[in-house]
């Protein structure tokens, strides 16, 4: 069984402090970063991608499962209130109407994916390339399972997989590779810089 015995990345970068101010600041900063990642499209084949899923998973890894979940929940609450924080807003609707649409399951999946990656990071999986890959793949699976189940209610399961997963797999693989290459290096640097 994996034991929670390690600090998460944000605790190693900043002094560990459980103050309400620090927590609120990080949750707000994370939700802003998540909004920005949803709005910036990267040209990619076969479909353009955002960095949103990467940021969701990194928020979980960097913040741990509790604060990661709270950060994504804050982001979802902002969207539910009608703020144009999602990738397709305001063009495709706002608020709960947008969240109840075909991509709503992916949004819900974000909160659980941040929780899973955060839980795994608290157990040190983000310290190695293999562990990081496992955490990132697990987070992506959570997003896909919840997202595809929801999307299938609109278009059927076969079309959900065809249009809601397959076009994004290569981009997700690139994001996983980026995280896998980066996170262990950050930890290695932090471990060397500490006395």
CB 148 within 8 A of CB 165: yes
Q: What pLDDT tens digit does each residue of the chain (195 aa) get?
A: 566 557 899 988 887 777 889 899 999 999 999 999 999 988 876 667 899 999 999 999 999 999 999 999 999 999 999 999 998 888 888 899 999 999 999 999 999 999 999 999 999 999 999 999 999 999 999 999 999 999 999 999 999 999 999 999 999 999 999 999 999 999 988 887 665
CB atoms within 10 A of CB 122: 24
Q: What is the per-residue pLDDT for 138?
A: 98
Distance CA 46, CA 102 (A): 20
Q: What is the model's pLDDT at position 18?
A: 74
The terminus-to-terminus CA distance of the chain in angstroms comes to 30
Strands (E), 44-147: 49-50
CA-CA distance, 25 to 11, in Å (whole number)? 14
Domain 9-189 fold: Arp2/3 complex 21 kDa subunit ARPC3 (1.10.1760)
138-149: burial string, b at 16+ Cβ within 10 Å, e else: bbbebbbebbbe
Instruction: Dump strand ranges (E) for 31-183.
Output: 41-42, 49-50
**What is the structure's pLDDT at 46?**
66
Q: Return the DSSP state at 50.
A: E
Predicted structure pTM score: 0.91
Do 59 and 33 touch, CB atoms closer than 8 A?
yes
Q: What per-residue confidence (pLDDT) applies to 47?
A: 66
Tell me if 107 sits within 8 A of 86, measured CB to CB: yes
Q: Show me where the domains of the chain are located.
A: 9-189
Whether 144 and 110 have beta carbons less than 8 Å apart is answered as no
Q: How far is CA 85 from CA 101, 102, 174, in A?
A: 15, 16, 24
CA–CA dist 110, 116 (Å, integer): 10
Q: Contact 146/106 with Cβ under 8 angstroms?
A: yes
């Amino acid at each position: 069984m994996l034991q929670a015995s390690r600090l998460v990345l944000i605790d190693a970068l900043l002094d560990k402090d459980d103050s309400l101010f620090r927590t609120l600041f990080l949750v707000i900063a994370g939700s802003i970063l998540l909004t920005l990642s949803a709005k910036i499209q990267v040209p990619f084949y076969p479909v353009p991608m955002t960095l949103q899923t990467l940021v969701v998973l990194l928020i979980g890894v960097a913040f741990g499962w509790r604060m990661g979940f709270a950060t994504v929940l804050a982001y979802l609450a902002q969207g539910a209130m009608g703020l144009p924080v999602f990738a397709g807003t305001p063009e495709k609707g706002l608020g709960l109407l947008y969240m109840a649409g075909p991509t709503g399951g992916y949004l819900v999946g974000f909160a659980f994916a941040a929780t899973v990656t955060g839980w795994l990071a608290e157990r040190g999986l983000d310290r190695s390339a293999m562990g990081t890959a496992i955490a990132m793949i697990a987070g992506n699976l959570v997003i896909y399972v919840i997202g595809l189940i929801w999307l299938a209610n609109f278009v059927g399961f076969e079309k959900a997989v065809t249009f809601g997963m397959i076009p994004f797999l290569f981009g997700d693989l690139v994001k996983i590779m980026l995280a896998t290459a980066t996170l262990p290096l950050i930890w290695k640097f932090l471990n060397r810089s500490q006395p």
